[in-house]
Structure 1
């Protein structure tokens, strides 16, 4: 009897990688129920984004209307053209440092040109399909530079939080602290109390009424107090003259090869940050919803959005992690919610612009203090600092210090290079221990391999899945761990990871494994690891993934893992 030939699957055309999720959503069916959910989510995110966009623009050394323009134009384009169903785009804290420095050195026109160049770089990166390369950025580098940016943002708000009398604030971190200390006698008690009360209200609402828009209520309450009592504090009106009630006319900066060459490093930094944060936000959204984003489509949308924002005189933009999470929690169903968030922000500009005159800068400083704290990810920072291997701790601390004291681009470059050198050092040590190529990828004769490697599914109980991992679980391979649960289809009752052939793991790999455990727990799936090598077990123990943690079940071998799976 002739064997039936299965049709060979054909690869999807390359252009499928760039189809926006908005089109995918509409093709799959979009009804009035979906629109109602998206309307509520879009309004919720717009209320959060309104004060935040103004605060980030002021922290970046420009006027508050620039932040609103960015949130409207870039937010619309990122949602309409992006590769994530739930991404919310706009200005973010990651850009504050680089934008402040570019404006200080090259003026606002220089920032517009740098943003245009960054948008073009992102489009080229999307066409070159570099979206998946983000996985090669180690976790300690990401935590180090985000914590550094958080500290810089926090320091930039000292003047407005304490009401210090200063004409300008230096860009250098240490110089800035010196200027603040010299101006300490000019502290305004009224401003400090207003900022402290705004901060207390935001934190209190997050603790006891998290569904209420804490940022907006703090700004509205502080503005009302300033208006009623005529408090002598700096407001948007007194410092910037208010905000316009419409979008500005499109502009085009002066473009010369010489100017582009000067701005190239800044443009690269903007493009890098936009790519990293947008894809990180999309990954988090996937984890929250179980959906899958298109990374290169997302990069394409980020490029177009940054060009659009620059065209209207806005700021660099990217996916905003906190606003994206808010969008999901508010019940968003599709990219329509992100589009509506931009529309609502435009309506706020058109109708409420005169009221912005009374917004005190102290309240916006309180918002940015919260943003800085959230960016710092103190929990992850402390966890890595106390539990990660020494090399990973060194990478994180060095990246943090370089971000704060030197330059963001230098910090990222040094961090990634140092992490790569550290990985090569670890692998060299493992090769030496194994006397040759035992930890390297090589062909193995079938007669040399343990038969257990081929029959692992023969005795597999119902509701149990198994996956064998091979090779070092380091930052370059960590992103694949998050896909393991999706690869088995319906979440199983027990998921067995065989790790006998995993010779080493770093902090990024351990964090990816912890993320897999968290996702599995959300589905009621128990994760069992088997035959963990001593070096790997030591790292997992330090990262709170050891046998005593209660998060991950350790089995001596595959047979014990099957016995544990049957007992669950």
Structure 2
């Protein structure tokens, strides 16, 4: 077996946080690589330009905030991230939470929440929580992303149809009612521009998928609106245009009360940023065969959100669609993502005056497509045909996201999924009675087909079924426990033992199939020892594996009187009371 050198083992800790940019330079980076990265960076910048503005507007912010986020956060995510191809910036996942934070706490509140989320992400990365992504169930992720898609879709109906409304309610039902009440204000010209832009996007994606469909649609719509002097809302008419100046770093005023009230929002931002960035990195790995550094990626996401917040930007994370575009465009390294940010900065400085003519109807069409892509209808439908528990998690998470709040939806979805998991684990644990002959083979070891005569997953002490006792004397009981003994199943151990008619002189509990035990399981074992002592029963624990033995020894349980720990059943049988043998 090959062993890593001592130096490699010593450095393995800090290398988890080594940016992929450093790795690329160490491996060698040439002009050909730079040329390809420049092409892919320009391609992604063209895609991100209209999208960043559209996402900012949908979030309740001005379009320049989206560009600032894509530039600042996009640079940091690529420069310090753990993925070679990750493209960062504003994403649809944040639209709901950002809109609600701005509505409740103002834009300064959003900045504070973003900065707090950045700190949380850095701490999560340094604590090596990056590998925990695999513990977030698919129904939870699909549930809240599909819910976000519905909210984005409904939020764009106003600009899609050109409805005249004094204010758009944040609550879903109230929003639908307000839109319906404003139906008489529909603007046919606005709707025609929106549907035309939507048609261009769909047609371009089907006939020429490599072309920047978003930019093409927005550009054509802008030319038509400007040339025809059409009376519909544009970036210029609603926001007064886009500033070509990013501005200087600025920190809002922090107070303890402000921090506490924004803590749930900050946690939601950090959670979404971590989940989406690592999912995006995993997608990139699948497309390229590379492997990202998850904890380094979380630290980079934290730095990016700190930087974005300092410059007045929005929360940022890895963008799956833009990352995939980056890879398909031939990106070689994180330089592509850095150049994407540079190109966006150039566009902002040079093309800012032209943004005045961009119709909001065209940006609404862009967001409609984003919402459709986020909805993951095929995956949602597939999960609806899954186990009933997963369907419940999916529907609850989706429903709470749409009807209540994203923070509540995520918390409820994760908790419900955890309870479901514990239930399934407890159902997989087997506590079964066996015989002395079936429990050991001729060599005194456990038989591969150790005879489970009765599976007592749901023991019934009043059952009329006779217990087979082949090879077991009247004063001896042998039970085997299979599966992890954790708090979700610990009480079942007592229930099964209590179902035994009377208490024997000796009781052998085989635990060679128990891979782990927690404090609750250990307490059940301790309780069982006490019960056996009260009834004069000697308890033999057989075949303890390392983790259960360490836990039981650490809690002092193995030192209890009346308890005997043996290597296998054969050794325990040699020590049972002679009258029972």
Do the aligned partners of 2:221 and 2:358 also contact (CA within 8 Å) in 1? Answer: yes
Q: Shift in Å at residue 168 of structure 1?
A: 2.0
> Does the residue aligned with 1:435 lie in a helix, a strand or coil?
strand
1:195 maps to 194
2:51 maps to 52
- Correspondences of 1:247-266 after superposition (within 5 Å): 247-266=246-265
Q: Are residue 94 (structure 1) and residue 74 (structure 2) matched?
A: no
Name whichever of 157-166 and 9-18 sits farther off: 9-18
> Does the residue aligned with 1:10 lie in a helix, a strand or coil?
helix
Do the aligned partners of 2:429 and 2:483 also contact (CA within 8 Å) in 1? Answer: no
Q: Shift in Å at residue 427 of structure 1?
A: 2.4
2:531 maps to none
2:168 maps to 169
What are the superposed Cα offsets for residues 28-63 of structure 1, whole Å, 9 maximum, x if unpaired? Answer: 000111111101100000000000000000000010
Q: Shift in Å at residue 247 of structure 1?
A: 1.2
2:428 maps to 430
Q: Shift in Å at residue 384 of structure 1?
A: 1.1
Give the whole-Å Cα distance in 2 for the aligned partners of 1:309 and 1:6: 40
2:559 maps to none
> Does the residue aligned with 1:301 lie in a helix, a strand or coil?
helix
2:399 maps to 401
Q: Are residue 37 (structure 1) and residue 36 (structure 2) matched?
A: yes
2:341 maps to 342
Do the aligned partners of 2:218 and 2:358 also contact (CA within 8 Å) in 1? Answer: yes
Give the whole-Å Cα distance in 1 for the aligned partners of 2:445 and 2:24: 50
- Correspondences of 1:259-274 after superposition (within 5 Å): 259-274=258-273
Q: Shift in Å at residue 249 of structure 1?
A: 1.8
Q: Shift in Å at residue 447 of structure 1?
A: 4.8
2:134 maps to 135
Give the 3 Å change call, closer, same or farther, for CA 222–6 of structure 1 in structure 2: closer
What are the superposed Cα offsets for residues 258-294 of structure 1, whole Å, 9 maximum, x if unpaired? Answer: 1111111111111111011001100110011000000
What are the superposed Cα offsets for residues 533-562 of structure 1, whole Å, 9 maximum, x if unpaired? Answer: xxxxxxxxxxxxxxxxxxxxxxxxxxxxxx
2:472 maps to none
What are the superposed Cα offsets for residues 510-529 of structure 1, whole Å, 9 maximum, x if unpaired? Answer: xxxxxxxxxxxxxxxxxxxx
Give the whole-Å Cα distance in 2 for the aligned partners of 1:4 and 1:255: 53
1:389 maps to 387
Q: Shift in Å at residue 127 of structure 1?
A: 1.2
TM-score of the pair, normalised by structure 1: 0.76
Q: Shift in Å at residue 257 of structure 1?
A: 1.0
What are the superposed Cα offsets for residues 236-267 of structure 1, whole Å, 9 maximum, x if unpaired? Answer: 00000000112122111011111111111111
- Correspondences of 1:486-505 after superposition (within 5 Å): none
Give the whole-Å Cα distance in 1 for the aligned partners of 2:33 and 2:78: 16
2:282 maps to 283
> Does the residue aligned with 2:94 lie in a helix, a strand or coil?
helix
What are the superposed Cα offsets for residues 359-386 of structure 1, whole Å, 9 maximum, x if unpaired? Answer: 000000000000001111111111111x
Calculate the aligned-residue CA RMSD, in Å. 2.3
Q: Which has the larger radius of gyration?
A: 2
Q: Shift in Å at residue 428 of structure 1?
A: 2.3
Give the whole-Å Cα distance in 1 for the aligned partners of 2:396 and 2:3: 57
Q: Shift in Å at residue 7 of structure 1?
A: 6.8
1:459 maps to none
Q: Shift in Å at residue 134 of structure 1?
A: 1.5
Give the whole-Å Cα distance in 2 for the aligned partners of 1:395 and 1:5: 44
Runs of 4+ in 1 over 6 A off after TM superposition: 3-9
Give the whole-Å Cα distance in 2 for the aligned partners of 1:254 and 1:352: 33
Give the whole-Å Cα distance in 2 for the aligned partners of 1:227 and 1:63: 21
2:68 maps to 69
1:28 maps to 27
1:146 maps to 145
Give the 3 Å change call, closer, same or farther, for CA 345–427 of structure 1 in structure 2: same
Do the aligned partners of 2:193 and 2:362 also contact (CA within 8 Å) in 1? Answer: yes
1:412 maps to 410
Give the whole-Å Cα distance in 2 for the aligned partners of 1:436 and 1:127: 47
Do the aligned partners of 2:41 and 2:336 also contact (CA within 8 Å) in 1? Answer: yes
- Correspondences of 1:478-517 after superposition (within 5 Å): none
Q: Shift in Å at residue 126 of structure 1?
A: 1.0
Structure 1 unaligned regions, length at least 5:
438-443, 452-469, 473-500, 502-568
Give the whole-Å Cα distance in 1 for the aligned partners of 2:149 and 2:108: 26
1:12 maps to 11
Give the whole-Å Cα distance in 2 for the aligned partners of 1:395 and 1:267: 24
Structure 2 unaligned regions, length at least 5:
435-440, 450-481, 485-512, 514-581
What are the superposed Cα offsets for residues 178-214 of structure 1, whole Å, 9 maximum, x if unpaired? Answer: 1000100000011111101101110111111101100
Q: Shift in Å at residue 11 of structure 1?
A: 4.6
Give the 3 Å change call, closer, same or farther, for CA 315–6 of structure 1 in structure 2: closer
Give the whole-Å Cα distance in 2 for the aligned partners of 1:226 and 1:47: 21
- Correspondences of 1:287-302 after superposition (within 5 Å): 287-302=286-301
1:112 maps to 111
Q: Are residue 183 (structure 1) and residue 182 (structure 2) matched?
A: yes
Give the whole-Å Cα distance in 1 for the aligned partners of 2:338 and 2:329: 15
Q: Shift in Å at residue 27 of structure 1?
A: 0.5
> Does the residue aligned with 1:266 lie in a helix, a strand or coil?
helix
Name whichever of 45-54 and 123-132 sits farther off: 123-132
- Correspondences of 1:535-550 after superposition (within 5 Å): none
2:211 maps to 212
Give the 3 Å change call, closer, same or farther, for CA 6–324 of structure 1 in structure 2: closer
Give the whole-Å Cα distance in 2 for the aligned partners of 1:119 and 1:13: 25
Larger RCO: 1 or 2 (CA < 8 Å, sep 6+):
1
